[in-house]
Structure 1
Amino acid sequence: MNRFPSVVRWSLTMLAVLFSTTAVLSAETNPWQCGRYRVLTADSHRPPPFEVVDICISEKPQAGAWLWQIDIGAKDGADAQPLMQLRAVTSENPLSEPSKPLVFDKYTLRVPALDETIEYRNVHTGKALLPSWGDFARQFIPHAARGTGRQRGLPNTCEYLGHVLTLRNVSKKDLPAWEKVAVLNLDPELLIGTGRTFKDKEGHRLPQHPERRNYTYIPWTKEDYVTMIEAGHNYFALVPGIVDWLRTQPVFYRAEASVKYPADLYRSNMLGPVMFIDEPTSIMTGDKEVINLLHFATDATALVTKRVRAEAEHAMYSYESTLRKGINLGDMRLSQPDFASWETRYETAFYQLAGGTAGIVHEGRYQLGEFNEHLKASTGTDRRMTAE
């Protein structure tokens, strides 16, 4: 199973994630070679999700790097506003015959309807941070179809987002610089967050003796998000109405079923909806269908590996299944390869990682009463710990 190269590391360490704004994203001063392509749907029963794609390549690469741009249009019209525009600097021409992996130096998304232009950077390298979808360069960047001819260096036929592009015309253009480019510096290796989107209204601990009391839960507000970001959180689930603001912040957020396609899938700070696989070993040991049949230790280790692999395969493509209900993805494979296993029994981490999960998050069950009894039994000291 192909894995996204970064390993998600969870920590209680607080990290200040940087945000900056630059005035202008420079465009190549030399003319661009631009091709207009019409989209041929790969689904014989559905129209394409958009009609036209413009691909522009700078004629003279800067210092061995290629500057290029993609515009996606809902309709084929000269004055139609693009659904999205992507401008990038890469080590190779994405439309040339592939010889080396495409390495991104800069990656900037523009959504004209929202007046948003955002460059995504990895806080550790200062280089481009790409969306975490599996095989991103192959699935999300146009590439020449096998055996195609060319006109002025542009392929007659391309494959893109699960469909086929057919070249209609080629022209030279002078593309303007992009102004008011926001730069999001993001840390893909340290994610701090929770799957919850609510807090207790009381704001303090309720005594649970002599009888148990329930908390009153209320959804987060924008002010709560701001406070958590300032405290170091950088991974969030969404409350209604927050995404328009949150996607412009230097944090990650969890994808939902409702997206603006295809622009939202190009946002490097939108992660797939699966945060983790839930306790494979604990669920296995509580499974009445198998628990009394496990005879050898290797029965359990082999089974937990296979259960993780089966669930991971489903989780990887769950978002694709959701989007296919309303979007024509053609033969595109949209995979989310980077998620952890959430587990109480962390001693089975080796066997879970063998099944394909990207990491282990330990769910600590630190109930004070039980903890104090274990502490007394193991140390001989009756030292009573409290939450404070």
Structure 2
Amino acid sequence: MDIIKEHETNEQQPFPLGLPGTTAKYYYTQKKDVLQTTVRTLILTLGKVEEARKTKHQWLHLQTKKTNEEGFCVWLLVESYSALKSTKSSQNIARYILKEGDNQPLEFRHKFEDKAVLPGLGCWSYLIPQPIKDTPSQEIFQSKLTFLGHSYLLDSLDHLEPPVIPIETKVLLLNPDVLIGPAHNSKQKDETRRYDRSDYELVQLTQNDYLEMINAGINCLRVDKKQVKWIDQCNVFYWGISGQEIKYPEYLYRSNYLGPTIFMDEPAVCTRDSIIRPKLESDQSYRKSITPQVALENFQDYFRHAKYQGAPARLMNELSERSDVDLGNIDFLQQNIYSWETMVSSALYQLTRCEAGEGKVPSAIVFEPPGRFGTLRTLPEMNMAYGCQIPVDNPKNLASIIYGFLRGAARLTDKDWGMSIYGAVDRADTFWLQTHAYDLGAKFFLYWDSYQLACVPYNEYLALSRNLRAHTESHPNRNLGKLKQAAEVAILLPPGYNLGHVYMGKGNLWGLNELNLERLNQKGIKYRVVMHNFFTEIERCIRFGVAYDLLWDLDELNLLAYREVIRIKEDGKVEVVEEGGKSIYDKARTPVRPSGTPPQLSIELSYHERELPMEITAHATITEGSATVYYTTGTNAQGIYKNAILCWELYGPNEEDYRFLNWEELETRITNQDNSRYKVEIDFSLEKPGTYHLRSATVDMAGRTSISWETIVVEN
């Protein structure tokens, strides 16, 4: 067409896009049965040139009119036309303004950086007119364009006055690098902490509640259609409104709208609870044959389904079900979805499962704490379970284990990570766990605000958010890319091995009794030996003060940037690659530990009946050595942390049978005989004949442990 050639003569002019004032009008090719929300006409106009970030940029104005006569406009200050088509458009678009109908225009800008904040749903390429696929020309005004899933033909090309940037624009200052918020749009009617496993009565958040949350630093809010009008022009992100309810397509252009949901809910835990556990209950042979590798295969199947049929596909599915929306060829997975996961060892697998053209789904991994998580709760159990000696007086030692999995996965995939606070997390740790994660490069800081012990009451998460906001404001300039690269050492764990769930610390893989640490793996080595090697190498890094990442040993990992790579092998050996050399060790390298005397432990058993069920009382005597003995299983029903002194575990009669006696509501009797000697007793019963092994363990504040094994034979 002559008008296209006329415009092409201006390519030599010093304009990133073309001559200011150039205006192209397009019309929708379909004439009949056009739905009300479909754009019928599209006008593109080139604006003036401005310098942004020391580079020439040019304004592009997009005007639309839908079948229902409603319209919206977009202004973009871009570096080049190719930037519009790039998957990293945010790096080349300096400003972004949206005007819906007669509403006040909104500009979405980064709070701390000189750049625009673009929509993160993953459909950007559909929101901006694009040339027909495989068109080689960089000319912006093609004779045919695709837009919002449909084809549009050029109607006219003129030279008019350049568009004027609206002066009444409201600027929203957003921080997409730090997202803080709760999981729901409700709060507790009575916020009094409930430690007795009863549930809270919840009420909907009010407008004043949302304003209070925003003032506290919360910037990621769940809302419904009624609540959204209170906050949609505040400096926050929001989510929760379904694809059935949003105004189409305008909501897709809103940078502060994150979608109907923003997370995949515990894929690894759901695998265990919805697939593995039902099999274990119905099939005794499966209890004997299950391995970490079998669990991993089940997880891979579940994760694939959760990704393509679950949260990432929800927005598309809901839009496609609407009778007033014609999506054309729009097809995408929601890109800003993160995985909210307890079993953090699966982080790398989850972040690497992306096919070509899928983008970055999930875009991040966020730690969901298991029940009763805390430094003085979890580290002593890890020392007793794995035979390591990690100091228990520093929350950094626990955080580095969890964050090591998250940061390592984010580093190798160039994605993000985050953490969350649950009600059962030791409150002595919570404030520091948040600020430390921020200092390490975390993006997400979330709260679970419902369901019994898991609930963080409203005013508690406000206090946490105020503290975190103050910390972020005093440390605003993070180099997130560099922070991901902080670790010098990578420690690799065999795929399928993990830290458990609510059994984190006790060591049962996948939180399953059937995968207890005394079972043998496919190499004939106890799981406890493999995990001992893993945690001893972690302890070595901690004592040397070296930052480390933790990863499943998946295929084709690029680990060249690590100074040292430690591969924990299923045969009980440890492979170390450093400075081009490889060494094989028969076991983990035990670091130099502080001298001192561990606690002394002795056990006696009393048999009340020799017939089934056999009633037994275990009597333990503990004498402290160089440091105080301390171990807790969490708060009691009154919210009090008590020193349980001893961890009781029972293995047998079969290898897949395991009981954690501390959690069986068995009465433990503790007598403090003097300042350094304790007597602990517990009653339990055995229902089946066979050979049992009672494992008793205690630990002091320096991480020194004492273990005792008692064999119990029950005859028919």
Provide the TM-score with structure 2 as the length reference: 0.44
Higher helix share: 2
How many angstroms apart in 1 are the aligned matches of 2:178 and 2:144? 40
Aligned mate of 2:146, from 159, 176, 179: 159
Identity value in percent: 23
How many angstroms apart in 1 are the aligned matches of 2:306 and 2:331? 17
What is the DSSP-based 3-state SS (H/G/I as helix, E as strand, rest coil) of the residue aligned with 1:89?
strand
Aligned AA (2:300): T
Matched, 1:125 2:110: no
Provide closer, same or farther for how the CA distance between residues 176 and 340 of structure 1 changes in structure 2, counting only shifts above 3 A. closer
Match of 2:339 in 1: 341
Aligned AA (1:303): N
Query: Which digits, 9 at most, give the CA deviation of each residue in 1:321-355, with x for residues without a partner?
Result: 10122211100124312222222222332333333
Match of 1:74 in 2: 66
Matched, 1:319 2:319: no
Of stretches 354-363 and 223-232 in structure 1, the one that deviates more from structure 2 is 354-363
Provide closer, same or farther for how the CA distance between residues 153 and 220 of structure 1 changes in structure 2, counting only shifts above 3 A. closer
Query: Which digits, 9 at most, give the CA deviation of each residue in 1:240-267, with x for residues without a partner?
Result: 4222231111111114231112211101
Match of 1:109 in 2: 98
Q: How do residues 1-388 of structure 1 correspond to structure 2 at under 5 angstroms?
A: 31-41=20-30, 46-47=34-35, 49-58=38-47, 64-75=56-67, 83-93=71-81, 102=89, 103-114=92-103, 116-134=104-122, 136=124, 138-145=125-132, 154-174=141-161, 175-205=163-193, 208=196, 214-254=199-239, 255-257=241-243, 258-286=245-273, 287=275, 288=277, 290-291=279-280, 292=286, 295-314=290-309, 315-326=311-322, 327-356=325-354, 357-367=362-372, 378=384, 380-381=629-630, 386=639
How many angstroms apart in 1 are the aligned matches of 2:177 and 2:50? 31
Match of 2:531 in 1: none
Query: Which digits, 9 at most, give the CA deviation of each residue in 1:138-188, with x for residues without a partner?
Result: 2211022358899x9732211111001112222332223302212222122
Provide closer, same or farther for how the CA distance between residues 46 and 290 of structure 1 changes in structure 2, counting only shifts above 3 A. farther
Unaligned runs of 5+ in 1: 1-27
Aligned AA (1:113): D
How many angstroms apart in 2 are the aligned matches of 1:60 and 1:187? 27
Aligned AA (2:342): T
What is the DSSP-based 3-state SS (H/G/I as helix, E as strand, rest coil) of the residue aligned with 2:316?
helix
Cα deviation, residue 306, structure 1: 3.8
Query: Which digits, 9 at most, give the CA deviation of each residue in 1:280-305, with x for residues without a partner?
Result: 22222232455537644322224323
Provide closer, same or farther for how the CA distance between residues 311 and 245 of structure 1 changes in structure 2, counting only shifts above 3 A. same
How many angstroms apart in 2 are the aligned matches of 1:177 and 1:99? 24
What is the DSSP-based 3-state SS (H/G/I as helix, E as strand, rest coil) of the residue aligned with 1:260?
coil
Query: Which digits, 9 at most, give the CA deviation of each residue in 1:69-101, with x for residues without a partner?
Result: 10111259xxx6x521000011113699x7997
Aligned AA (2:21): W
Provide closer, same or farther for how the CA distance between residues 59 and 127 of structure 1 changes in structure 2, counting only shifts above 3 A. closer
Aligned AA (1:34): T
The answer to whether the Cα contact below 8 Å between 2:187 and 2:203 also exists between their aligned partners in 1 is yes
Aligned AA (1:301): L
How many angstroms apart in 2 are the aligned matches of 1:348 and 1:245? 38
Provide closer, same or farther for how the CA distance between residues 61 and 361 of structure 1 changes in structure 2, counting only shifts above 3 A. closer
What is the DSSP-based 3-state SS (H/G/I as helix, E as strand, rest coil) of the residue aligned with 2:333?
coil
What is the DSSP-based 3-state SS (H/G/I as helix, E as strand, rest coil) of the residue aligned with 1:121?
strand
How many angstroms apart in 2 are the aligned matches of 1:382 and 1:148? 67
What is the DSSP-based 3-state SS (H/G/I as helix, E as strand, rest coil) of the residue aligned with 2:260?
coil
Provide closer, same or farther for how the CA distance between residues 46 and 300 of structure 1 changes in structure 2, counting only shifts above 3 A. farther
How many angstroms apart in 2 are the aligned matches of 1:181 and 1:252? 18
How many angstroms apart in 2 are the aligned matches of 1:373 and 1:119? 46
The answer to whether the Cα contact below 8 Å between 1:284 and 1:290 also exists between their aligned partners in 2 is no
Aligned AA (1:39): Y
Provide closer, same or farther for how the CA distance between residues 333 and 300 of structure 1 changes in structure 2, counting only shifts above 3 A. same
Provide the TM-score with structure 1 as the length reference: 0.77
How many angstroms apart in 2 are the aligned matches of 1:296 and 1:59? 64
Aligned AA (1:91): E
Q: How many residues align?
A: 347
Provide closer, same or farther for how the CA distance between residues 147 and 350 of structure 1 changes in structure 2, counting only shifts above 3 A. closer
Aligned AA (1:318): R
The answer to whether the Cα contact below 8 Å between 2:94 and 2:116 also exists between their aligned partners in 1 is yes
Provide closer, same or farther for how the CA distance between residues 100 and 334 of structure 1 changes in structure 2, counting only shifts above 3 A. closer
The answer to whether the Cα contact below 8 Å between 1:36 and 1:168 also exists between their aligned partners in 2 is yes
Provide closer, same or farther for how the CA distance between residues 61 and 148 of structure 1 changes in structure 2, counting only shifts above 3 A. farther
Query: Which digits, 9 at most, give the CA deviation of each residue in 1:112-150, with x for residues without a partner?
Result: 322x211112234320111012252x2211022358899
How many angstroms apart in 2 are the aligned matches of 1:270 and 1:85? 17
Cα deviation, residue 190, structure 1: 1.9
What is the DSSP-based 3-state SS (H/G/I as helix, E as strand, rest coil) of the residue aligned with 1:332?
coil
How many angstroms apart in 1 are the aligned matches of 2:23 and 2:224? 41
The answer to whether the Cα contact below 8 Å between 1:276 and 1:341 also exists between their aligned partners in 2 is yes
Cα deviation, residue 198, structure 1: 1.0
The answer to whether the Cα contact below 8 Å between 1:33 and 1:170 also exists between their aligned partners in 2 is yes
- In angstroms, what is the RMSD of aligned CA positions? 3.7
What is the DSSP-based 3-state SS (H/G/I as helix, E as strand, rest coil) of the residue aligned with 1:125?
coil
The answer to whether the Cα contact below 8 Å between 2:59 and 2:78 also exists between their aligned partners in 1 is yes
Cα deviation, residue 219, structure 1: 0.4
Aligned AA (1:182): K
